[in-house]
Structures are given as C-alpha cells and as structure tokens.
Structure 1
Amino acid sequence: MDRRLLADTRPLANPHFKRLWRANIVTVVGAQLTVVAVPAQIYAMTGSSAYVGLTGIFGLVPLVVFGLWGGALADVFDRRTLLMITTCGLIATSAGFWLQAALGAEDVWLLLSLFAVQQAFFAVNQPTRSALLPRILDEELLPAANSLNMTVMQAGGIAGPLVGGALIPLMGFSWLYLLDTITLFATLGAVVRLPPLPILGVTVTPGIGAVIDGFRYLRTQPVLMMSFVVDIIAMVFGMPRALFPELADVAFSGPNEGGVAFALLFAAIPAGAVVGGVLSGWVSRVERQGLAVIVSILVWGVAMVGFGVAAMLAPLAPALFLGIAVLMLAIGGAADMASAAFRTSMLQAAADDSVRGRLQGIFIVVVAGGPRVADVLHGATAAVTGAAVAAAGGGVLVIIGTVLAALAVPAFVRYRVTRVAV
C-alpha cells in the first residue's frame, strides 16, 4: 500500500501533541464506559426509557450553554490552566459517578445532575483543547492532527460501548466509573506538561457580551460561517440514526430489541470514520479545503441516499441489502471524518487567536446539536413517509442544500491554503 494513503503522523513528532494524543487513546475509551453506564444505570433504577431519554436534555443544555461560555473563557484565560481545571472537574464528576454507584444510591436525579455537571466541564474543555492546537503545531499539520484526533474518538466510540456492554454484567456500574476516573489522569498528566498558553492579542471579559462578539466576528467571516452552515445541512438533514431501530427491525428482519442488524447500523458510521482516519494521509496535501468540504458532504449525502434505497429494497434480500446499507453508512462516516478534519482546520487556522476559543465553542454546539435536531426531524418524517424514505430523502436534501450553499458563497469553494509536498 502506498504510504501516502496512510494517516499523516507528522504531528506526533511534536512532544506536546504526542502526549495529548496518546493520553486521549486511554481517556476516550474510559469516557465511553461512562457513556454506556449512565443510561444503563438509569434504566436499571427506573425501568423507564423516558428517564433514559432525559439524558438528552440534561446533556444538551449544559453542552450548549457552557460550550458557548467555555469558548469565551478560552479566549481570556491561559488555555493550559483552563484545561487543567476542566480536566480536574471531569475527574471529580467521574469519581462522583463511582461513589454513588459504590454506595448503591437509587436517586436518578442525582445521577442526571452529575451527568449535567460532567457535560458542562466537557463543554469548556473541548473548545479549549481545539483552540490550543495552532499554538503548538504548524498550520500545515492541522488537518493531519485533527484526523488523528477524530480517528481516536471514533475508535473509542466503537470499542468503549462494546467493552462497557460486556463488563457491566460482570463488574457492575461502579467499576466502569472507576476505570473512567483513573484513565482521565493520563490526560491530566499530558496537560500539566504543556507550556503556558496565554491568549495572543486583545482579550475580552468572559460573559454574554464576549459570546455575542464571537458571533459578530463570525458574521464578518463568510468562509468560516459557511463551515458551520454546511455541517448543519449535513447533520440535520442527513443523520439517520433515529431510524436505525425501526429499520433494523422492519427492513432488515431483526428482533424488535437490539440484534445484529441493530448493532451493525450503529457501528457502521464510526467504523467508516476510523477507516477514513487510517487512510487520511491525503488530507495534508489538499490545498482547496473549501472544495474538499463540499465534496465530502456531497459524498455523505449520496451515501445516505444509498442507505435509504438499500433499506427500501431490503425485503427482497434482507442480508444482502443490510450489507449494502452498512457499506453506505461506512462510506458516509469516512466522508464525515474528512469534512470534520478540514472544517476544524479552517477554524483553527483562519480565525484570530483572540477569538479562536469562541468559534470552537460554537463548533462544539453545532456538532452536538445538529444530530439531536436530526433525531427529531427524521423521527417525525418517518411517521409520515416511512423510515427508509425519510433516510433517502434526507440524503437528497443534503445534496441540494450543499450545492445551493456552494453557489451562494463561492468564496468558500475557492478557499485554499498553501501546502508543501509531503
């Protein structure tokens, strides 16, 4: 295999990035154990999917509020210091999860409150972490660095739930929370060894005014604005995960609770993203990043159309069309990984350092909020048209919306950076 196809690992030559990346491998798996354990414990307590569904609200609200505010904080305080504080906060909340489980607490509201606090720390931590990369890496290495980070995140999204699901019956909830707590110390150690990272340029007073100023800055940057718009188009119209349970049961003849088809559909997008990350060596050689984003999202849209069509035809040969559907989702996952790598790099490189944190905060909100809006829209549409038609139709809307966005802001399509040969 041509080595140029494999992931560009040059960012790992930087000792600061290397320590953060290696620590993240451990921490991501630990975090996914908690992602699995919290809803499982809530259901064990209550026997109610309605209570489990509350994790969406308790997670999204602090993610939006503190994602925006956290971005403002990241444009005021030394980012190393802020990462240390929020990482310690994540350790403390994970320890709180462990303690309540170890003591046999049966208070679902305590568990949900801990989850909300954890998401608040996460919402400040992530934009800060993204905003510091341009300070420790050369601009040309940002796409490769973001691809490496997202590959680890997606791999953890596969491994964590599989490991967590297997360990809960054997070890119980408290041990999973304890493992998450311990793994977070790896990230804390990497953060402590970062150099001081004060803000370059004029800083602001953290608050609603700073958040509004971030949006005002974004409005003056059409290229950066479009990086958010096209992602919203891709996720809101094209993310069909809310349809997976019904399609696994009705289209692909699986049981009405779980099963192989259900697992394959949920694993396909992150699996595709991991493969795309492993074969992401090309991203460092792309100069026309705006065009690359458009093409990646169009591939995502076409893949979602293919997924919906496969689901429509599934009654003819369920096993065959399940394989095609999984392949389409995997292709979409690889395309989404590429799009995210380019969009994140554009935000990191094109924005001023003094506003970079706030833009990363908006990025976190868009990335987290888009799929949740998609869950609502796809669910409502499926009730009228059927799940397969809703999935395919969403892909069509992604294609139309992306083409219209590209025509409306040609500067985004023309956006390019200078690359050296690698």
Structure 2
Amino acid sequence: MAVTGRRLLLDLAPLRGSAAFRRLWTGGVMSGFGSQLALVAVVFQVWEETRSTVWTGAVGLAQALPLLVLGMFAGALVDRADRRALYLLSVAGQAGCALLLAAQAALGYFPAAGVIGLVAGQSVFATVAGPASRTFLPRLLPSEQLAAGLALNRVAFQGAMLLGPALGGLLLAGVGAGGCYLVDAVSFAAALYAVFRLPPMRPDTAERPADRPGLRDVREGLAFLARTPVVRAALLTDLAATVLSMPISLFPLVNAERFDGGPRTLGLFLSAIAVGGVAASVCSGAFTRRPNQSAVMLGAAATWGVALALFGLVSGPWAGLALLALAGAADTVSVVARGTVVQLHTPDRLLGRVGAAEQIVGQAGPDVGNLRGGLVASVSSGSTALVSGGLLCVAAVALIGCGTPGLRRTGGAAPGRPPGSTTPGFPLD
C-alpha cells in the first residue's frame, strides 16, 4: 500500500537522475518567481503613472505581440543554431531588460510607453528562449521520464503563479518597483548557470538545408504539424479547451449574478484553479507513469469542460470552488500529457518550431477564449457562457479523439528516439 501511495505522488526521478535537469529546474523556479515579481511591479508602475486601464492592458499586449508575430521565426532559428547558445543570449537579454527597468525606476520617472517598450523587448528575447528551452528535456531525460519532467516544470510554474504576485506586492511595498526589477534580473543568474553547464546542443543536421532560416523553415514546421495527426491533435485539444471554455473573463459576472459579488469570492475563484493545479502536480505520479499520455490528455481536457459546465450550473459558492479546483487539476494533467505527446512525436530537428507553435497556442488560446466567453455572456448570461463553452469543449475533444486513431495507441516516439532513450550521445548528467 505504501509503495502504491508513493507512486501517486510527484515523480522526482528526473531530479534524482539528472544533475543537468536538476540545475535547469532550479534555475526555472528562480527566474519564474522573478518574472512574477517584475510583472506586479510593471502593472503597478504603469497604473501609478497613467491611471488608465488602457495602459495597463497594453502591458499584456507588449508581452503577447512579439510571440504572435515572431514565434515561428524564432522556432526556425532554434532549429538551425546551437540551442544552448541561443538560450544563453536570450536569457542574458531578458536580464538586461530587467536591469534597464530597475535603472529607470531608480531615476524616479520614466514614461509609461518606455516601460512598456522594455517589457516588449524582454518578450522578444523570451520568444526565442521559450522554444529553445523546450528542446532541452528530450536530451536530458529518457523518454519514460518526460512526463515526470514536464510535471515538475508545471509545479514550478504554478508555484510562481500562486505565490509570486503576493510576494511581489510585499516587496513592492517595501523596496519599490526598482527592487522588484533588480530581483528579477538577479533571478536569471541561476538559469544562465544551469544552461552554461550544458554541452553544446546543436539540432539534428539530417536533411537540414544549407540556406539561412526563413519562410522555408516556417513552412516546413507548419507542414509537419499538418501531416502529423498526433501532434496536430494535441495542439487542437489545447485550443478546444481554451478557446471554447476559458472562464477567467466570466468570473466577475458570475460572482455578481450568483454569489455575493464581493472581491473575496472573486479572488477565491482564481485561487481555486491554482490550488487544483498544484494538487494535481503533487499527485502527478498517478498519470505521468501511464504509457498512453494521449488518452490522459483527452480525458483531462474533457474533464476541464465538464467541470466548467457544472460550475455554470451550481448555485452554492463552495460547490463552485470545488468544481474550479477540479478544472485546475484537469488543466495541469492536460498540459503535462500534451507536452509529453508533442515531444515524443516530434523529431529533434523540428523541436524548436513545434515548441514555438505550442507556445503560441498556449498563450493565444486563453486570450481568444476569454474574449469568446465575454461575447457570449454579453448576449446571454455568465452561466450560459460557461455551460455552452464546457459542452462545446467536451464535444470538440470527442471529435478530436475519434478523428485521430493514433491517439488511441499506447507509447510511441519520434523517429530516431526509441522509448527509454535520450538523444544519442547526450549524457544525463
């Protein structure tokens, strides 16, 4: 019984077995917290200078626009160059932008447009760093530990999302925005050290054209997504969950319609999703050890839709919070399983472009989904938007599962990467 119980918990084998992954994960934890501190400081500083929600909304646009415009080109670059070197340069660029933000805060006044411009610059570097970092895990971990490694990364991300803003508020009150930016800049040091310790990570040169990266490489990446049903279905599953049933924009309306309408209940909505996600991560051994991650992905995405549809129907706040926690847990399971499916079925030479596509879907999908929910609620009600979105999500996931036979097969890996192996010639430590 004790052994079974341990197998339900977060699988720490990647941290125990690979010193390189352990350093990379630690660096990701520290830089993730630093980024959350800086985000709180940016939003606060822009609001203090402008008192305009248009300007604070522009912060999100500055983060998203470089990814949407440059994402696939960044992925093409990652698939042509030494990924380790690109990541080091990109993270150094992010740290440099954080130092510039700290410097402008120390000067006492800086136009809001300048602050947002530095945020956009940092996002440009992050657009390259994101797909580069997504290529590391298949080289650091054997294939059967990929899901566990992604679950550990998810824990780090959720921990930063859950605690980072609160710590940012405290630090902002104590040392001001400049102190938050400075901590953010320093936090990149651990990530830089972790990747600096890695050997060069050049992509697989097989069938790689000799010309410079450009539209041809982007088209090649898109063509791979079009002709690879399993990877395409994984990204479509993410879009089905986020575009059709993203609930965040509906929370204030639902809170006013069916609960007390106060800020305390509204804050609990967001916290419940995060708590469910953390709980799923802690118990991720229950699903990361399963051989067929495709089925796990589909089941979790459908559970997300069902939980949100039921949330739209319940009348009690505690039942609603429990359903949001269930949705948060399902989201974590789906994200980890989807990432595993994508990486196992993507050849090394295409990991950068596919990682960029996954990053774009992961960021743009929720934004579009929140807009969809708001539009539906504007002509009906929050409950109608939630229920219809959840049911549409379940129907779309069912169609994806039925229309993609490869999702129902267990195991599977990208060509040249048999189960149980890392990339040939690459050490675990």
RMSD: 1.6
**Does 2:125 align with 1:125?**
no
Tell me which of 268, 291, 302 is aligned to 1:298.
302
Deviation of the 1:105 alpha carbon = 2.3
Deviation of the 1:415 alpha carbon = 4.8
Tell me which of 360, 376, 380 is aligned to 1:385.
380
Deviation of the 1:417 alpha carbon = 4.0
> Using the alignment, how far apart are the partners of 1:128 and 1:92 within structure 2?
19
For 1:215-230, what aligned pairs fall within 5 Å after superposition? 215-230=222-237
Tell me which of 5, 29, 32 is aligned to 2:8.
5
Q: Deviations over 1:270-323 (max 9, x none)?
A: 22111111100123321122111111111111111122112xx2xxxxxxx222
Task: Tell me which amino acid in the other structure corresponds to 1:365.
Answer: I
**Does 2:338 align with 1:343?**
yes
Query: Helix, strand or coil for the counterpart of 1:309?
Result: coil
Conserved 8 A contact 1:347-1:356: no
Tell me which of 157, 163, 181 is aligned to 2:167.
163
Conserved 8 A contact 1:294-1:413: no
Count how many residue pairs are aligned between Structure 1 and Structure 2. Answer: 408
Task: Give 1:318's aligned residue.
Answer: none
Task: Give 2:390's aligned residue.
Answer: 395
Query: Helix, strand or coil for the counterpart of 1:105?
Result: coil
**Does 2:211 align with 1:208?**
no
- Comparing 203-212 and 79-88, the one that deviates more: 203-212
Tell me which of 137, 144, 163 is aligned to 1:140.
144
- Comparing 394-403 and 163-172, the one that deviates more: 163-172
Conserved 8 A contact 1:270-1:330: yes
Deviation of the 1:126 alpha carbon = 1.2
Tell me which of 36, 58, 64 is aligned to 2:62.
58
Conserved 8 A contact 2:304-2:326: yes
Conserved 8 A contact 2:230-2:345: no
Conserved 8 A contact 2:287-2:296: no
Q: Deviations over 1:37-65 (max 9, x none)?
A: 21121111110111111123222110112
Q: Is there any run of 5+ residues in structure 2 with no aligned partner, and where?
A: 414-418, 421-429
Deviation of the 1:252 alpha carbon = 2.0
Task: Give 2:401's aligned residue.
Answer: 406
Task: Tell me which amino acid in the other structure corresponds to 2:248.
Answer: R
| Identical-residue share of aligned pairs (%) | 32
> Using the alignment, how far apart are the partners of 1:400 and 1:370 within structure 2?
17
**Does 2:34 align with 1:27?**
no
Q: Is there any run of 5+ residues in structure 1 with no aligned partner, and where?
A: 314-320
For 1:183-202, what aligned pairs fall within 5 Å after superposition? 183-202=187-206
Deviation of the 1:111 alpha carbon = 1.0
Conserved 8 A contact 2:252-2:261: no
Conserved 8 A contact 1:227-1:343: yes
Task: Tell me which amino acid in the other structure corresponds to 2:213.
Answer: P
Deviation of the 1:209 alpha carbon = 1.9
Task: Give 1:247's aligned residue.
Answer: 254
> Using the alignment, how far apart are the partners of 1:168 and 1:404 within structure 2?
47
TM-score (norm 2): 0.92
Deviation of the 1:72 alpha carbon = 1.0
Conserved 8 A contact 2:279-2:329: yes
> Using the alignment, how far apart are the partners of 1:165 and 1:7 within structure 2?
30
Task: Give 1:89's aligned residue.
Answer: 93
Deviation of the 1:247 alpha carbon = 2.5
Task: Tell me which amino acid in the other structure corresponds to 1:73.
Answer: L
Q: Deviations over 1:309-338 (max 9, x none)?
A: 12xx2xxxxxxx222222211111111111
Task: Give 1:272's aligned residue.
Answer: 276
Task: Give 1:74's aligned residue.
Answer: 78
Task: Give 2:120's aligned residue.
Answer: 116
Conserved 8 A contact 1:223-1:415: no
> Using the alignment, how far apart are the partners of 1:362 and 1:90 within structure 2?
21
> Using the alignment, how far apart are the partners of 1:338 and 1:324 within structure 2?
21
Task: Give 1:40's aligned residue.
Answer: 44
Deviation of the 1:386 alpha carbon = 1.2
